[in-house]
Structure 1
Amino acid sequence: MSENKEQPRKRGKKEKKRRSKVALGVIVAGVVVMVGAYTVKANTYRTRFFPHTVINGIDASEKTVDEVRQVMSKQIDDFESTIKSRGNNDEIIKGSDVGLAFVKDNSLEDLLNEQNSMAWIAEMNGKKDLKIQSSFTVDPDKFENTVSKLKALDESKFEKPVDAKISDFVQGSGYSIIPETEGNTIDIAKAKEYIKSQLITLNNEINLDYEDNDLYEKPAKMSDDPTLNAALKNLNKYISARISYDKLNVLNGDTIHNWLTANSDGSVSISDDGIASFVKKVSSAYNTVGKPKTLKTSYGPTVTITGGSYGWKVDTEKEKAAIRSLIEAGETAKREPEYSRKAASHGENDYGNSYVEVNLTAQHMILIKNGSKVLESDFVSGNVSKNWTTPPGAFPLTYRTRNATLKGEGYSTPVNYWMPFNGGIGFHDAPWRSAFGGQIYKTSGSHGCVNLPPAVAKQLYEYVDAGFPVLCYNLTEAAPAPAPAETSAASTGETTASNPTEETVEPISENVSPQGGKTAVEIEQ
């Protein structure tokens, strides 16, 4: 019994092996069939283009090279291309107009040979848009004749490009950038080459204005140019400045813009002449040096004093620099000008209410402090007979000093109090004189200075300082002194003389020019 059981088992194992061999054989046969079918299909794509292949706009899917050529040849008869250009309507070129013809070469074969036929499955879905350059040609003469007539290439219709630029100043809004104008000036030679390259690839739409073609002349400066925008920023900053003065209209962009020039590097220049012209107006409004001054004299009449150096004087260089700085900063500021010379007041009379009144006619000096008379005295001024007359005018006291020596040719005279106000002309004590006032000055006057009694000179010295106004004038009509009394050299208070004796001899006095101008005197302290 055991032997009978063993036999069926052996037969079962043999049957399984036999079936496995059969199955393997089927699989191998299937693989062989599949490989064969794949290879057969791959061999098809050795002579035909893959599906979804487009060559120069022609569907070449599953077509042979000859079939593609036939399609290309047929296209010539009906081919036309639309030329698009800047500033013109579309223009049409027909293939026959340019002698378009098919050229048989190996371009299509080369494309086909580049296919990897064994990868045909991977290439089944992806679209391939291919180009060849030598399938078509144009007749040179027909091409030139046709293309030269295009409006896009008509030089008489060309408009040059215009650079972006900064606008003119507009009141209330300032400056802005005017965008560039592209124009339609084209490089004719390059445009013709481009048109030809598109025709021989059967491109039915040729856009000359395509940016990458770079056929049109471009503006040199565009709206986004960094230096242009930097200049715009600076211009609008500068015109935002507002500089005001009490005596002038506000200086703002309405005037400043006339002084500005934008530079190629984005900076902005401010005209020196423009600033100087404005500072001239500032000076005219504020300068009082040399302008007539009226004085209600202590004698009653009002006089007009001309000449002299007293008053306000604008320092033009400093004022120009200050204005430039404010404009460059775009600031708003209220200004008092920079001065090279100052006076006491900006009122009707710039000398204020403290001054020395020098009546050359009456030969009398009156010191006014804060509107009140604090000192007065007769004096002796320049010798009229020798043309050394003391000049009238308004002057600032130049300085004051003690123990000066007045030197001139042939003399050296010490004085205790020296207070010049008009070059070498000034107040000083004259202890050598025995009398002051009256008519002494006409024949025995000084060389131009105002000689004072020593006690008066001392008091005047204590009241005044550099810059103090000195107002010298003549009265057209004789007027008596306010408080007539005799003044002698020995006086120590305020006295005047109604009938002073003239001094016949003036021993030694200061040296001034014959016209009463600045001396060449050496002052030793």
Structure 2
Amino acid sequence: MLDISSHGIMCEGEERDFMNNNTDDNNIDKDNVNTDATEETVAEETIFGGTETEPETAASDAAIPDGAGIPIFPDNEASDEADEPDDKPAKKTHRALKITAAICGAVVVCTYIVISIWFMFHYNYKTYINDIDYSFYSLDDVDAYIESYIQDYSLALKLRGGEEHVIKPEDISLDIKPNITAKKIISEQNGFLWPYYMLKRKDYDLYYSASYDKDALEKLLKSYDSLDESKMEKPEDAYVTIKDGESTIIPESEGNYLDFDRLCCIIDEAIVKGESVLDVSESDAYESPELTADSEEIVNEQKELAKILEMTITYEIDQVSWKLTSKEYGDWISNVKGKWKFSEDKVREYVENIASRYDTYGVPRNFRTHNGDVITLANTWYGWMIDVDGETEELMKLLEAGESTTHTPPFDCYAAVYHDGGDDIGDSYIECDFGQQHVYAYVDGNLVWDSDCVTGSLANNGKYRTPEGVYTILYKKTPAVLIGDDYETPVTYWMPFIGELGIGFHDASWRSSFGGDIYKNSGSHGCVNLPVSAAEQLFNIVYDGMPVICYY
């Protein structure tokens, strides 16, 4: 017997096995069975009715015995039945996936809602208050922090020099109130948008409004020693100076002078911002220098001065020389309205010093005579004498020019030579030994001429006595007329060496003898009388500036 079920046509024995399957499965597939049955009826009609194009196939199928127990299907229905056993597990899997997805969705939604509710009482990720991370903090945590801050608040002042002071609320009757509360901050965050906030930083400014007794604050501040104005030091600008002849920048001095009004302002700002430490040394409450070591003005001054200090002035006086460098003239320079100027007073002082060091005019000196004796000559009208006024003017010009150079100062008086150690007579000179009434002429250390002479008379208490000392030939003249108070005498050779007194060498043709003691009673009016021939020879030897040494 054939039976139509959800699996198609079965044998009777197979029907019993099928009926033993889960009743629920039969109920679920009931509609499918009806549909299959309809399709199979159509199929059977096609098979057993036959068609004009398939007569042999239909006849062959009809010839199969009933008792064989083998179901008869057309080819396409057999194929369908071969595929149908795989449909049931696929449908079960699909249904299971739907159920799982529904459960997971419900879990996700519930979890999201729970998290959203949690974030209604906690701050979202990346929540910053005054640049401090308060992510996931609860409202109670922040409220407790604010309350603790207000109760425990004090402001520590750090001053220059390491001095510190603490301002307590009770010292100034301080009353602090926050500008924002924890609840206010959380109200600006939507708990249900917490995924969005996970990607965005949220910054909040928490500050405090403070009221306090300003008079009490000022009184407290003035009680600090460091705020006693008499103990404060004003700042000093950086400046350029000279040390050891080099251009040097002296850094600025910050001092510790506080602007009291400004200090009160920054303390007020610190209290409002809720700061617990105020480093006043880093604020603008202290007066600051206008010029620092890095200021362009200072740097340019230093460079300009360094260039000036490169200058060297080399002094030369005959065989003596020395250098004037920045180590000496550096102290004469100062900056006047942005320009480096030399002090004329200091320049003059320097010139006076070198005159005192190098002048030999009027200075007692030792002299070795023709016979080897060393005598001291105190009265000298001879030597080097620097023109202080002239040299001050010339040196100022050289310094202001700023160029290195070689320089010889102007002199009021000159000597023959200048050797290190003060010797200014040299090896060419005229030596007059008045005690022996003899004159010697030396050129380059060699005796080239000598002669007896007659000098000024010692009579009448030495009225016409020729003075001893060191002098120079002022000039020479031939012929000449000598004019005195009571005489007027022509001479052929005239070589004066004491201009103020009109004393010099000349020929005395009226004398027949020279030397000996003639000068004691019959001497001249002060001049050195020479034989005509000797005077001529000496006239050809001497030159302007030649030293003349006279002694007794």
TM-score by length of 2: 0.54
Find the aligned partners of 1:390 and 1:218 in 2 and give their Cα distance: 77
Aligned twin of 2:100: none
- Superposition deviation, residue 396 in structure 1: 1.0
Q: Name the SS for the 2:492 alignment partner.
A: strand
Q: Which residue of 416, 426, 440 maps to 1:352?
A: 426
The 5 A counterparts of 1:2-151 are 77-78=150-151, 80=153, 82-86=155-159, 87-89=162-164, 91=166, 93-94=168-169, 98-100=173-175, 102=177, 136-140=209-213, 144=217, 148=221
CA contact (8 A) 2:232 2:256 kept: yes
Q: Which residue of 357, 371, 381 maps to 1:282?
A: 357
Find the aligned partners of 2:248 and 2:465 in 1 and give their Cα distance: 66
- Superposition deviation, residue 394 in structure 1: 2.2
Query: Is 1:450 aligned to residue 528 of structure 2?
Result: yes
Instruction: Using the aligned pairs only, state the percent identity.
Output: 28
Aligned twin of 1:118: none
The 5 A counterparts of 1:475-514 are none
Q: 1:406 to 1:248 in 2, by over 3 A?
A: closer
Find the aligned partners of 1:252 and 1:354 in 2 and give their Cα distance: 35
Find the aligned partners of 1:250 and 1:75 in 2 and give their Cα distance: 77
Q: In structure 2, what residue type is equivalent to 1:136?
A: S
Aligned twin of 2:139: none
Find the aligned partners of 2:521 and 2:148 in 1 and give their Cα distance: 126
CA contact (8 A) 2:458 2:521 kept: yes
Aligned twin of 2:548: 470
Length, aligned pairs only: 399
Aligned twin of 2:267: 195
Q: 1:312 to 1:144 in 2, by over 3 A?
A: closer
Flag structure 1 segments of 5+ consecutive residues without an equivalent.
Answer: 1-50, 62-69, 110-120, 475-525
Q: 1:459 to 1:144 in 2, by over 3 A?
A: closer
Find the aligned partners of 2:527 and 2:209 in 1 and give their Cα distance: 111
CA contact (8 A) 1:239 1:257 kept: no
Q: Name the SS for the 2:261 alignment partner.
A: helix
CA contact (8 A) 1:310 1:343 kept: no
Find the aligned partners of 1:376 and 1:335 in 2 and give their Cα distance: 39
Find the aligned partners of 1:418 and 1:466 in 2 and give their Cα distance: 12
Query: Is 1:292 aligned to residue 370 of structure 2?
Result: no
Q: Which has the larger radius of gyration?
A: 2
Question: Which shows bigger deviation, 404-413 or 454-463?
Answer: 404-413
Q: 1:163 to 1:445 in 2, by over 3 A?
A: same
Query: Is 1:414 aligned to residue 490 of structure 2?
Result: yes
Find the aligned partners of 1:54 and 1:332 in 2 and give their Cα distance: 69
Q: In structure 2, what residue type is equivalent to 1:307?
A: N
Q: Name the SS for the 2:540 alignment partner.
A: helix
CA contact (8 A) 2:247 2:302 kept: no
Q: Name the SS for the 1:402 alignment partner.
A: coil
- Superposition deviation, residue 321 in structure 1: 6.9
- Superposition deviation, residue 157 in structure 1: 11
- Superposition deviation, residue 379 in structure 1: 2.6
Q: Name the SS for the 1:456 alignment partner.
A: helix
Aligned twin of 1:224: 294
Q: Name the SS for the 1:282 alignment partner.
A: helix
Q: Name the SS for the 1:194 alignment partner.
A: helix
- Superposition deviation, residue 257 in structure 1: 8.3
Q: 1:457 to 1:93 in 2, by over 3 A?
A: same
Aligned twin of 1:46: none
Find the aligned partners of 2:147 and 2:202 in 1 and give their Cα distance: 24
Q: In structure 2, what residue type is equivalent to 1:360?
A: F
Q: Which residue of 469, 474, 478 maps to 1:398?
A: 474
Aligned twin of 1:521: none
Q: 1:314 to 1:381 in 2, by over 3 A?
A: same
Higher-helix-fraction structure: 2
Query: Is 1:215 aligned to residue 285 of structure 2?
Result: yes
CA contact (8 A) 1:231 1:262 kept: no
Q: 1:94 to 1:415 in 2, by over 3 A?
A: same
Query: Is 1:308 aligned to residue 386 of structure 2?
Result: no
Q: CA RMSD in A?
A: 5.7
Aligned twin of 1:461: 539
Find the aligned partners of 1:395 and 1:153 in 2 and give their Cα distance: 73
Find the aligned partners of 2:476 and 2:173 in 1 and give their Cα distance: 104
User: Residues 212-256 of structure 1: CA distance to partner in whole angstroms, max 9, x if unpaired?
Assistant: xx2112346533356666369848975996979988998877x73
Q: In structure 2, what residue type is equivalent to 1:296?
A: T
Q: Name the SS for the 2:479 alignment partner.
A: strand
CA contact (8 A) 1:80 1:95 kept: no
Query: Is 1:363 aligned to residue 437 of structure 2?
Result: yes
- Superposition deviation, residue 189 in structure 1: 2.8
Question: Which shows bigger deviation, 349-358 or 224-233?
Answer: 224-233
Aligned twin of 2:102: none
The 5 A counterparts of 1:249-260 are 256=328, 259-260=331-332
Find the aligned partners of 2:425 and 2:444 in 1 and give their Cα distance: 11
- Superposition deviation, residue 472 in structure 1: 2.1
CA contact (8 A) 1:168 1:175 kept: yes
Q: 1:235 to 1:317 in 2, by over 3 A?
A: farther
CA contact (8 A) 1:400 1:466 kept: yes
Query: Is 1:441 aligned to residue 519 of structure 2?
Result: yes
Q: 1:140 to 1:301 in 2, by over 3 A?
A: closer
- Superposition deviation, residue 448 in structure 1: 0.8
Find the aligned partners of 2:513 and 2:254 in 1 and give their Cα distance: 94
Find the aligned partners of 1:149 and 1:302 in 2 and give their Cα distance: 81
CA contact (8 A) 1:138 1:200 kept: no
Q: Name the SS for the 2:459 alignment partner.
A: coil
Question: Which shows bigger deviation, 343-352 or 162-171?
Answer: 162-171
Q: Which residue of 446, 453, 465 maps to 1:379?
A: 453
TM-score by length of 1: 0.56
Query: Is 1:341 aligned to residue 414 of structure 2?
Result: yes
- Superposition deviation, residue 103 in structure 1: 9.9
Q: Name the SS for the 1:189 alignment partner.
A: helix
Find the aligned partners of 2:226 and 2:350 in 1 and give their Cα distance: 51
CA contact (8 A) 1:98 1:146 kept: no
Q: 1:203 to 1:437 in 2, by over 3 A?
A: closer
Q: In structure 1, what residue type is equivalent to 2:425?
A: Y
Q: In structure 2, what residue type is equivalent to 1:442?
A: K
Q: 1:165 to 1:439 in 2, by over 3 A?
A: same
Q: In structure 2, what residue type is equivalent to 1:448?
A: G
Question: Which shows bigger deviation, 70-79 or 195-204?
Answer: 70-79
Find the aligned partners of 1:272 and 1:83 in 2 and give their Cα distance: 57
Q: In structure 1, what residue type is equivalent to 2:382?
A: Y
Find the aligned partners of 2:431 and 2:218 in 1 and give their Cα distance: 101
Q: 1:193 to 1:398 in 2, by over 3 A?
A: same
